[in-house]
Amino acid sequence: MLDLVLFTIAWIVGSVLLEWLFHALNQYGTYFYTASSQAVDGEHAVAFILTILAPVIAFVVVMLIYNFIRFRARAGDTNLRSRHQFRTNKLFIGVWVLVSIGLNLLFFVHPSASALEQMFNSEQARLNRQDLEVDVVARQWQWFFSYPQYGISSAQDANGNATLYLPVNRNVKFVLRSYDPWHTYDPYIGVIHGFWIPAFGLKQDIIPGETRYMYVHTSKVTSYDVNPMVRVQCTEVCGPGHPYMEAPVHVVSAGDFQTWVKKQLKLQSD
């Protein structure tokens, strides 16, 4: 009985400490830097799981430490065996099994299914009539961004490097394809790439021969110069050029975006 009381107190203290730690972590931001509503959703999912699991983690860790200290064999103890020999404890096992099933069902409903439903909704065509469409082509080892609605065939900065400009507070639909625009006749040249913008909180693989989509909703004005997490990064290994396959991202106001579009069109016509 004494052990149960002592352990429970230790467990509660451990849980509170861990909740405090996780709370601080979630306040700081487990995704470090977020610039889209999808990233914020993901961060909330992490926060929910950590908050619910804190007492479970505390239970196991406190149990390990408590057992280790409290039930250690003392030096000079002649009787090697423990006085307590039991094979089972129906209450403990029953609670354990039910709680672990319950927690997993909970996590499946929320955040897994609920957040996925949001993601699937954001991909519904009827909700995306005003989307900005960006065609993304990945080849070894380069990104191409084109804006069919604006007639920009390949967005570039002044040095000719691919660059991605997005207006803030807009739904963006990325159309993802992997092929080499200069060698379209070669079926062996396309490999799998990964399209990731760390600050946007999600990624999609780009498969040769398939067209895939990714939807984000930009939520703040930012750029690669503000935080290096605002960049396009290839995440699926695609050969020796893989680490160099990155491009800066700029999320700008609607007005600045229009200015940028005009500049691109002028660059293109020169």
Site residues (CB under 8 A) for other proteins, limited to 32-91 = 32, 38-39, 41-42, 45-46, 49, 53, 57, 60-61, 63-64, 67-68, 71-73, 77, 80-89
Nearer to other proteins, 39 or 166 (CB): 39
Residues 196-255 that bind other proteins (CB under 8 A): 196, 198, 201-205, 207-210, 212, 228-229, 231, 233-244, 246
Torsion of CA 71, 72, 75, 76, to 10 degrees: 40
Provide the minimum distance between the beta carbon of 173 and other proteins in the complex, in angstroms, as a whole number.
15
Return the axis-axis angle of helices 90-107 and 37-70, rounded to nearest 10°: 170
CB 168 within 8 A of CB 109: no
Nearer to other proteins, 37 or 264 (CB): 37
Provide the minimum distance between the beta carbon of 109 and other proteins in the complex, in angstroms, as a whole number.
10
Nearer to other proteins, 47 or 155 (CB): 47
250 forms bridges with which residues in the sheet?
A: 165, 223
Provide the minimum distance between the beta carbon of 163 and other proteins in the complex, in angstroms, as a whole number.
16
Query: How would you class 251 by CB atoms within 10 Å of its CB: exposed for 0-12, middle for 13-18, buried for 19 or more?
Result: buried
Closest CA to 162 of 247, 235, 231: 247
Residues 88-127 that bind other proteins (CB under 8 A): 88-89, 92-93, 96-97, 100-101, 104, 107-108, 111-113, 115-116, 119-120, 123
CA distance 229 to 252: 16
Tokens of 250: 């700029």
CA 58 to chain centre: 25
CA distance 101 to 107: 10
Assess 6 for contact with other proteins (CB under 8 A).
no
Residues 142-201 that bind other proteins (CB under 8 A): 179, 187-192, 194, 196, 198, 201
Total residues in contact with other proteins, by rule CB under 8 A: 86
